[in-house]
């Protein structure tokens, strides 16, 4: 059937597209880090505190990865000792509404699960 065939094409494409996105945003911490940076520039140690549970090694690694993907910008401030600021790129700003939506859904989901299973 015509419609079925068209649907299959569209479906396949979208599955691939989502997969592309997750290649960039996958991993345990990336979206949390972006979410933190969504509130403004942050120093390395600030992110470390705000993203609960992440280790220094993973933070460096994920930051570097996202820098290469043009999602964030890294700036070294020549203070004593050195401090480093991270911020979202303009490019990445497009992504933030989606991430905020994910946050809202997560909150709602948690409430739903709590309501179902009680405490």
**Is position 39 an interface residue for a copy of itself (rule: CB under 8 A)?**
yes
In this structure, what token pair is assigned to residue 63? 């930051």
Q: Which is nearer to DNA, 53 or 118 (CB)?
A: 53
> Which one among 74, 109, 110, 112 touches DNA, defined by CB under 7 A?
74
* Cis status of the peptide bond prior to 81, with omega within 30 of 0: yes
CB nearer to a copy of itself: give 80 or 106.
106
Q: Does 33 bind DNA (CB under 7 A)?
A: no
Q: Which does 41 bind (CB under 5 to 8 A by kind): a copy of itself, DNA, none?
A: none
**Of the listed pieces 31-39, 57-65, 72-80, 81-89, which binds a copy of itself according to CB under 8 A?**
31-39
Provide the 3-class DSSP secondary structure of residue 12. Answer: helix
User: Which of 29, 36, 72, 88 is the binder for DNA (CB under 7 A)?
Assistant: 29
Site track for DNA across 44-73, x = CB under 7 A: xxx------xxxxxx-xx-xx---------
CA proximity to 33, closest of 42, 21, 74, 107: 42
**Strands lying side by side in the sheet with 72-77:** 42-43, 83-88, 72-77
Give the separation between CA 51 and CA 30, rounded to whole angstroms.
10
Decide: 96 and 34 in contact? Cβ < 8 Å. Answer: yes
């Amino acid at each position: 059937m015509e419609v079925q065939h068209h649907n299959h094409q569209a479906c396949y494409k979208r599955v691939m597209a989502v997969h592309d996105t997750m290649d960039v945003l996958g991993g345990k911490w990336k979206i949390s880090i972006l979410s933190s940076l969504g509130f403004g520039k942050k120093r390395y140690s600030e992110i470390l505190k705000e993203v609960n549970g992440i280790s220094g090694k993973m933070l460096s690694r994920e930051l570097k990865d996202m820098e290469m993907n043009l999602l964030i910008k890294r700036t070294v401030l020549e203070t004593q000792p050195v401090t480093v600021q991270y911020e979202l790129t303009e490019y990445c700003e497009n992504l933030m509404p989606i991430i905020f939506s994910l946050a809202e859904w997560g909150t709602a989901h948690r409430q739903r699960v709590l309501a179902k299973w009680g405490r």
